A and B are shown apart, each in its own frame.
Chain A
Amino acid sequence: NAGVTQTPKFRVLKTGQSMTLLCAQDMNHEYMYWYRQDPGMGLRLIHYSVGEGTTAKGEVPDGYNVSRLKKQNFLLGLESAAPSQTSVYFCASSWGTSREAFFGQGTRLTVV
């Protein structure tokens, strides 16, 4: 039972480069989320999706785009990476908004 799988696990980007983070879940969850985690701060929601083909902005959406073409996949894109986007990114999925969320292992991204 894989749960939530994120790829890649680590990545170093140069300022201005673009990349896509992939999240896949095998639990048939409707809701999927992208968070970033920075030292000394709580998790912050970047974007979320309440079902296939839908996406919405969270707390810190600027500089990121997302797509959910298939129910099991949620992609996070960085169009032009900036050093301020250096962070650990987590994908999560859940049955509903007040239900437990299952998190992936995270992607550690460094922008130099």
Chain B
Amino acid sequence: EDQVTQSPEALRLQEGESSSLNCSYTVSGLRGLFWYRQDPGKGPEFLFTLYSAGEEKEKERLKATLTKKESFLHITAPKPEDSATYLCAVQPPDSNYQLIWGAGTKLIIKP
């Protein structure tokens, strides 16, 4: 069964302390990997789409990378406003509409 696993479940960092979130998947030949940010009480907000191993995307303090079995979301010098739950989703090769979502990593940045 195809699975998407995010780790850690929760991560507490000091402001300015860089780190990485992991999204590992068992899907072969994925059509795309998506990162979303979700603030408490709100819907997910799109961050990045990655399509092939070796691809990287950046946005402000965030950089997403992709290998054949996992993706990393690197957070450089985070600020308290980066606190959120980060969700990863994978589109399998045989699915036009359905994504497989991870449970998310809750990131807390302390000032």
Query: Which of A98, A102, A105 sits near B32, CB closer than 8 Å?
Result: A98
Smallest CB separation, A29 vs chain B (Å): 13
**With A50-B97, A56-B97, A97-B91: A42-B46 Cβ-Cβ less than 8 Å:** no
Smallest CB separation, A41 vs chain B (Å): 6
**With A97-B91, A98-B31: A45-B43 Cβ-Cβ less than 8 Å:** no
Query: Which of B4, B31, B97 sits near A42, CB closer than 8 Å?
Result: B4
Q: Between A and B, how many residue pairs show CB distances below 8 Å? A: 56
Which residue of B is nearest A43, CB measured? B101
Residues on B with C-beta less than 8 A from A4 are: 43
How many angstroms between the C-alpha atoms of A45 and B99 in the bound complex?
Answer: 8
Contact of A105 with B43 in the complex, beta carbons under 8 Å: yes
B residues within 8 Å of A by Cβ?
4, 31-32, 34, 41-46, 49, 87, 89, 91, 96-104
Q: Other CB < 8 Å A-B pairs besides A48-B98, A104-B43, A105-B42, 13 of them?
A: A42-B100, A42-B103, A43-B44, A50-B97, A56-B97, A90-B43, A98-B32, A98-B49, A98-B91, A102-B46, A103-B45, A105-B43, A106-B41
A residues within 8 Å of B by Cβ?
4, 31, 33, 40-45, 48, 50, 56, 58-59, 90, 92, 97-106
